[in-house]
Amino acid sequence: MTTPTASRPVFTVTPADGQIDEPRRITVTGLAPDALVAISARTLRSRGVVWDSQATFMADADGVVDLSRDAPVGGDYAEVSAMGLLWSQHPAGGTSQELFADDVMQPLWTALTAETADGARAEAELLQRFAAPGVSRREIREDGLVGTLFTPAGPGPHPVVVVLNGSGGGINEPRGALYASHGYQAFALGYFKAPGLSPFITETPLEYPETGLRWVHRELQPKDGFVAVSGQSRGGELALLLGATFPDLVSAVIAYVPGAMIHGAQGAGDPARGGWQGVTWTKDGVPLPHLWQDNAAVHWHPWAGDAPPSRHHSVFFEGLKDRALAERARIPVERIAGPVLLVSGRDDRAWPSSLYSRMVVSSLSRHGHRHLVRHLDFDDAGHAINLPFVPTTQLSREHPVSKVPYTSGGTPSGNARADDGSWRGVLAFLAEIAGR
């Protein structure tokens, strides 16, 4: 009788080192036909938190597992997905929202392990970079501005993208570095909860981002004068507002999960200045009307209940019932003098970004907007549409400013598809309008 030979698995990742938005082909060969192999992925992310995932696969008749072809038979995800081991990761030992690296100029490093039932093991590594070779990073502390400038390799001038974060505040360096990796000079601009700035969004003067836009035009000399503004959530609201308020400074708007209305300060508000219902934006020292300003229709039960809300975006639908106030709080997007891209999730449970995006599209259409308008609306996606191939499993979270728990919505799989599809859509949009 012949004793079966133990399998000797061989792990291959192609490419092993690349940009964070670059899909990889992950295969395990050298397995026995129909053998089961458990594959795990461990990634060290920000603040030393390890995120991990595991899935079990069945080899084909040639002893091969190919993640771009094969669905797991069990584990942390359940579909064919070449990068499923990354987006299905969970933070080890608790919860965390820190998906990126502490230093965006350094790659995220993932250790992959394959193990068979007979104890044979194979290992591989996968590096995800935000900054391509030659991309430079420079902190900007000029004219009262707080931000980070990322410049592509190669001679300029380059088209410019101004990157705005959402209600968590801070400076969105990962997205800025990735824009630069695709040939755009990116100015990631903090407007609150960044060094030297207010810890709250309350009463943010529009003159501050206006200064940033003027600084970009003056100091960076953008190619063909092209300056797009890209913002997420409250940053998406601000991107639309800047395009409408300063059309001569904004060439295009990219609004991720945006609001079509000006909202009160909400979860990023200063408790001493109106809290949730405080003023968010001012212009020339005058508060801009917002949807929670003496709203006659809204009820605050989704926010004020004793138990953490699992779905609180109904308050926004209630708010819109005050039609006169909603009209005063509406962002006059018809004043935008360039192309507009909107990204939303149909299961957004933070606020109704799909509805808001459709409202923006409708307003632009009614007013005969002469420029390209595109809306990417994703099934099974929520509020936290992010960069490709990062974990999408933390659907419930604590707001980083108010500490109020909320649910962002979507499914891990749906959010992963939106992460990837939205980024491809943004790059295609910019290539079309900026000539890259």
Q: Please give the domain boundaries of the chain with CATH numbers for all domains.
A: 10-129 (2.60.40.2240), 136-434 (3.40.50.1820)
Q: Is the pTM above the cut of 0.85?
A: yes
Query: What is the chain's length?
Result: 436
Tally Cβ neighbours within 10 Å of residue 136. 12
Q: List pLDDT tens digits, range 347-387.
A: 999 899 999 999 999 999 999 999 999 999 999 999 999 99
Beta strand extents in 130-203 (DSSP E only): 136-140, 146-151, 160-164, 185-190
Q: List pLDDT tens digits, range 8-23.
A: 899 999 999 999 999 9
Task: For residue 214, give Cα distances in angstroms to 95, 195, 277, 433.
Answer: 40, 21, 31, 21
Neighbouring-strand partners of residue 161: 186, 228
Mean pLDDT of 330-336: 98
CA–CA distance, 122 with 6 (Å, rounded to integer): 13
Whether 100 and 46 have beta carbons less than 8 Å apart is answered as yes
Residue 35 clears pLDDT 60, i.e. is over it: yes
Q: Nearest-CA neighbor of 380 among 359, 407, 409, 406?
A: 409
Cis-peptide into 391, omega within 30 deg: no
Neighbouring-strand partners of residue 43: 51, 110
Place of tokens 């980083």: 400
CA–CA distance, 345 with 230 (Å, rounded to integer): 17
Specify the DSSP class assigned to residue 89: -
Tell which phi-psi region holds residue 387, choosing left (phi > 0), alpha (psi between -120 and 50) or beta: beta
Place of tokens 């004219």: 143
Residue 318 clears pLDDT 60, i.e. is over it: yes
CA–CA distance, 419 with 6 (Å, rounded to integer): 40
Q: Nearest-CA neighbor of 33 among 6, 63, 66?
A: 63
Confidence of residue 313 (pLDDT cuts 50, 70, 90): low
Confidence of residue 4 (pLDDT cuts 50, 70, 90): very low
